[in-house]
Structure 1
Amino acid sequence: MLYEAIAALAIVTQDQAALRISPRDSAQQQTVLAQGDALEIRGSRMDYLQVYDHRRERAGYVRATQVRTISTEADAAPELLSVLRFVRDTPGQEALGIAYAAAYLKAAPADAITAEPFDALGSMADRLAQRASARLGKVDGPRLAAALEVAASYGVAIKSFEREGQIQLCYEGDAFRRVLAMPSPSGDQAARAALALTRHDCVDPALGPLQIRALDLWRAEVLDRVDIRDLPGTLKNRVRLRRAGVWSGIAYAQAHRGESAAASAERAMQELAAIDKAELADEDLAVYNEAAVRVGATRWAVVPGNKPNPKLGIVTVAGEPGETCVLLTDARHDASAPLLRRCTYSVVWPASATINADASVLTLAAQPLSTWRELWVFRKTADGWLADVLPPASSDPGIGYAEFAGWVPGAPKMLVAREAKVSGRWQRSFEVVHLHTLNTEKRADRPDALSLFYRWQSPIWKTQTLSLR
């Protein structure tokens, strides 16, 4: 912290404050100060303070009205905490709040420090990173960059990585870890800390499967340490939504390693089912949709596997290291001489296999990513059997699923439900797909808006799917 070696302090309260070589508006400007910068006071002249900026190693004069003089003595701690409480929830004041949090932590006696200042510090750092990631406009760009530099000068670490062609900024989370390490943080403080430390969008996409698995297990442990019984309904929902998403990721990782994933997938579904929709805030609706899609992608883990149908079925065997090979079989073609063999690094859910009335089509759920489940369609043609893939959306793999929803009797058609996040927006559709071309003939955003879908949707699908939530 900058305050360790500074006795008399001033905190800059206005952005674009000028540090000049003499105490006059006409004097040459040394540099431009940002809100939250800490300056050492060395004197005063007229309406200016003579200061030294340790971060930029510059001396000069700044108008007294553009800074706030503070003390880091113990008797000043209550006043510093009051200002911190005032600015902590004000967007755009994060750098100033971080400066006051640092000043309070320097002034307050060690035995008087509670989880509150760390909660405030973490909340402001997290909000600053989110605002910077959102790129709130060209006007805000320089101010956000300056605020990030100020935060870094106080030891606040912001990590960055590329996601979907954009730079994602995330707070490293040291203050929130300190909140959870405190003897008795309040329920709200613990919940906010756990939510900030377990954000899905702050998982580095460059991590490997083993690293993601370890991180998900740690995230689940952090979330399970939060006692949600006495939390407000909205905050309780947010913790449950995060738990649902994390446990669905754990279920996928377990299935990918050949382990039983039923308990983890069941836990994810229970957390989602416990959501009180009446307490869902407007800003949490998108989070609810995301959690539902994450859980929906791995829902087949809770369904016991079926024996291969003698008319038409599948058998899964190991292929190359990490591969699963799907063998299409019937009464005359067993696993030693299958109708079709298709190998994949995806998680294959055998319990999802469904065949039509004349055994000419079989559908199967395959999941290449923890948040992306595709629908495989095996079709009998004049040239033999073919395997095609219906993805959740035409975009690059992200968050979504496509699933079989029923057969249309007497017609070469099937029903498909899809849900995915496309260009930042959630899209849910119920479709009638022609089996010969796999083209969508009709589409609606509600199943009752399509007569064929409403009449012929599978009862089993209707009781298991999350797309009808």
Structure 2
Amino acid sequence: MNLTTLTFIAAVASAAVTVASAAVPPASANALGSAIVVQDQASLRAAPRDGAQQQASLWQGEVLEVRGERLDYLQVWDHKRERGGFIRASDVRRMALTEAEGPALLAVLRFMQDTPGAEALGIGLTAAYLQAAPGQLLAGVEGAQAFDALGTFADRLARRASVAVPGKASGARLSAHLDVANAYGVRFATYEVEGRMQVCYEGEAFRRVLAMPVADAAQRARAALALTRPECINPDLPAHERARVHAWQVDVLERVDVAGLPPYLRNRVQMRRASVWGATAFEQARKNVADPAVAAAAARALTEFAGVSKADLPDEDQSNYNDAAMRVSAVRWALVPTTAPAAPSKAARPTLVTEPGAPGETCVLLVDSQHTAQAPLLRRCTYGVVWSASASTNREGTAVALAVQPLEGWRELWVLRKTEGGWLADVLPPAATTPETGVAEWAGWVPGGQQMLVAREARGQGRYRKSFEVVRLDGLTTERVTGDVAALPLFQRWQDPAWKRQTLSLR
């Protein structure tokens, strides 16, 4: 065994002690082993009687030191609360935490890994296994299974806590389970998002899974998916720090070999890759939209999304599929090269040019044969990414549509239209909600200069909606709207062929 292997085993063994030592009671002369609580709100009483005074209410996963037996009760010492008492033997499971007990504990972990509601108990049993198993075993397949289980329990507990209803009994139970996990050294991050709390597992166990050469493809996939959850990026991070997080997520996801994964798990990895590459393309475009790396990132996002098999999508993954589609769609114009506008002539329709504004700004200028960039028809600036290749002017020359992306995964439609008082610029968002994920895109012009076709899809306030609309240019009011594009004759007749060929809204 070489020095590198010995160092790795020592590191894994050290991690195991870190997780387990927080829960395992110190040895004492009268100790008779340990016991882990398997029932929520188990009573620690002053005497071995049902009517005795309750000292504390214990939760599944908590560990106690056993010091004696009385009737059908165990006499225990709770090191967390620094008090002793009696607890029914049926409310706990006794453990010796020896090497011989390791295989049985690992078998229980495998059984519980996919059991919702038992996360705190699973974390406690994992800590017991990490304490019982030798370091050489933890560096092998068994160790990868244990850390995979620990991460799964912690991540699922965080997800449950994020959707818990404050004040409800279930919320109090989840809060207690989080306290149990924290006592084992499992850490969580909490963010406020739109008035609610988002709880996320810090991910140490999953990082160890990715670092273990013996971890299989499915374990790596689960670890990568948990470590790259988009909702677990701190919403207060500045743009440059957020870009670093996405770069790290790309590296994590690239460590997963999807070839041998079950189809549903391969889909999940590819959808996450598509989302992260889409975010990377947006962040690079904010620095320089003409950078070849922008098109390369957008192309990778589209490739990963195209590799998703819709036939192998379970119901619970449909929302992730829609979100990935919107994130990729938001940057799809990066794949279309921007051509320089032709020199305007007297008969030329209005065209768009861009120029730098204040630091970080891009200004859009509407020009024609009579109005140059020095005296444009209209000038409007934005801190978002202006996808110049998307610009489209109607046949009458009275309206121009332009895709502008102010946020990651959120692309708006700018409509520059001619009125009696001059040219105006209006913004058509994906939805009238707080920006989350969504795309509004021009789909075609209706002859006559009065109407345009728009496709919109968005997720906001927990709801997803996709629509195809006929919009009046005068005021941008919606005349007809439907979720089925075939139900709109105008859409069928006048949708732009290039839009139909490139859009993801018709997936």
1: CA distance between counterparts of 2:358 and 2:175?
48
- Given that 2:273 and 2:304 are in contact with CA atoms closer than 8 Å, whether structure 1 keeps it comes out as yes
- Given that 2:23 and 2:183 are in contact with CA atoms closer than 8 Å, whether structure 1 keeps it comes out as no
RMSD: 1.1
2: CA distance between counterparts of 1:215 and 1:359?
44
Q: Which consecutive unaligned segments of at least 5 residues does structure 1 have?
A: none
State the partner residue of 2:26.
6
Q: In the alignment, residue 26 of structure 2 is paired with which amino acid?
A: I
Give % identity.
56
1:265-304 to 2 correspondences below 5 Å: 265-304=298-337
State the partner residue of 1:72.
97
Aligned length: 469
Bigger Cα displacement from structure 2, 255-264 vs 209-218: 255-264
State the partner residue of 2:390.
352
Q: In the alignment, residue 446 of structure 1 is paired with which amino acid?
A: D
2: CA distance between counterparts of 1:442 and 1:193?
45
1: CA distance between counterparts of 2:112 and 2:399?
62
- Given that 1:328 and 1:340 are in contact with CA atoms closer than 8 Å, whether structure 2 keeps it comes out as yes
Choose which of 285, 299, 306 in structure 2 pairs with 1:255. Answer: 285
State the partner residue of 1:171.
201
State the partner residue of 1:22.
47
1: CA distance between counterparts of 2:338 and 2:237?
31
Deviations 1:333-369 (A, max 9, x none): 1111111110110100100000011211111111100
2: CA distance between counterparts of 1:78 and 1:71?
13
2: CA distance between counterparts of 1:269 and 1:286?
18
State the partner residue of 1:234.
264
- Given that 1:3 and 1:106 are in contact with CA atoms closer than 8 Å, whether structure 2 keeps it comes out as no
1: CA distance between counterparts of 2:341 and 2:157?
54
State the partner residue of 1:403.
441
2: CA distance between counterparts of 1:249 and 1:396?
19
State the partner residue of 1:131.
160
Bigger Cα displacement from structure 2, 237-246 vs 257-266: 257-266
1: CA distance between counterparts of 2:381 and 2:461?
31
SS in structure 2 at match of 1:267: helix
Q: In the alignment, residue 325 of structure 2 is paired with which amino acid?
A: A
State the partner residue of 1:145.
175
How far did 1:300 drift?
0.7
State the partner residue of 2:230.
200
Q: TM-score, normalised on structure 2?
A: 0.91
SS in structure 1 at match of 2:308: coil
1:428-439 to 2 correspondences below 5 Å: 428-439=466-477
How far did 1:181 drift?
0.7
State the partner residue of 1:378.
416
1:264 aligns with 2:289: no
State the partner residue of 2:18.
none
State the partner residue of 2:69.
44
1: CA distance between counterparts of 2:282 and 2:134?
47
Q: In the alignment, residue 448 of structure 1 is paired with which amino acid?
A: A
1: CA distance between counterparts of 2:117 and 2:380?
54
SS in structure 2 at match of 1:6: coil
How far did 1:6 drift?
3.1
1: CA distance between counterparts of 2:402 and 2:446?
17
Deviations 1:166-224 (A, max 9, x none): 10001100000010111220110000000000011111111110011000010011001
Deviations 1:34-75 (A, max 9, x none): 011100111121211111111122211111111100011111
2: CA distance between counterparts of 1:41 and 1:186?
38
Q: In the alignment, residue 232 of structure 2 is paired with which amino acid?
A: C
Deviations 1:405-458 (A, max 9, x none): 001112510000000013312100000000111100000112111011111000
Q: In the alignment, residue 243 of structure 1 is paired with which amino acid?
A: R
Bigger Cα displacement from structure 2, 386-395 vs 253-262: 253-262
2: CA distance between counterparts of 1:411 and 1:304?
27
SS in structure 2 at match of 1:43: strand
SS in structure 2 at match of 1:462: helix
How far did 1:102 drift?
0.3
- Given that 1:188 and 1:231 are in contact with CA atoms closer than 8 Å, whether structure 2 keeps it comes out as yes
Q: TM-score, normalised on structure 1?
A: 0.98
Q: In the alignment, residue 173 of structure 2 is paired with which amino acid?
A: R
State the partner residue of 1:421.
459
1: CA distance between counterparts of 2:170 and 2:404?
44
SS in structure 2 at match of 1:248: helix
State the partner residue of 1:342.
380
Q: In the alignment, residue 184 of structure 1 is paired with which amino acid?
A: V
